[in-house]
Amino acid sequence: MESPIKSQKGQELLEHYKNMAQEGYQRGANLKGIEGEKAFNKFGIRKFKKDFKEIFNNYSIKSLLDYGAGRSNWNASGFDEASNKSASQYFDIPNVYHYEPARGIDQRRKVDCVICFDVLEHIFISDVPNTLRDIISLGSKLIILNIAYYKSDAKLPNGENAHITIRPPLWWKGVLDTISIEYPSTTICLACSKDIFNCEAFRLWNANEWLETKTYSTRIK
């Protein structure tokens, strides 16, 4: 599949992320740098696992693509400490695939669900629409997006903050409303984090709700 990153700046950023995945990266004042083998090793869905277990069950999710997966390992034991189950076992999703261009991993394909955690804020703004279309086109049932809108501790190799597209939740909701019209049967779950502890979630929606209503007006709920 083609990369959704088309802009020159987007390509330059991808090279930065490849460098960070191999060599590590620096963080802000009074914070230690991250070594290459530990770069991108956050498993973002872990802290929301109980909520998403219910959502996955409700939508009968049996195949999933982790888009911008970093080093997340869905088959490693211990994802759930109580049971020692892997993420795949805990969520009962037998078929899990990964897309991480910074590490040369591309298993993109049509699946029940695509998740994308802490990725879109790293995408250059002109590449955001293409990236969202790529994500939504691959999920037949459900898309789960978690997007940060605060500065990162991490620094790009050129010294800039690694969160380069910081926009408020309603900006992301507006962009997604427009693009989701093209995929009306796919449900979108959008959550935006203002820091590592606080997250604002919109109710799940799909564009068929607007297309099938008897009224013309649509409102954010």
Given a contact cutoff of 8 angstroms between Cβ atoms, the answer to whether 114 and 120 are in contact is: no
Model-level pTM? 0.92
Which pLDDT score, from 0 to 100, does residue 30 have?
Answer: 54
Which pLDDT score, from 0 to 100, does residue 27 have?
Answer: 75
- The CA distance from 149 to 151, in Å, is 7
- The CA distance from 27 to 73, in Å, is 24
Q: What is the 3-state secondary structure (H, E, C) of 133-171?
A: HHHHHHEEEEEEEEEECCCCCEECCCCCECCCCCCCHHH
- The CA distance from 177 to 160, in Å, is 30
Beta bridge partners of 115: 66, 144
Which pLDDT score, from 0 to 100, does residue 204 have?
Answer: 95
The ranges of the chain with pLDDT < 50 are: 36
Indicate the CATH number for domain 28-211.
3.40.50
Which pLDDT score, from 0 to 100, does residue 43 have?
Answer: 78
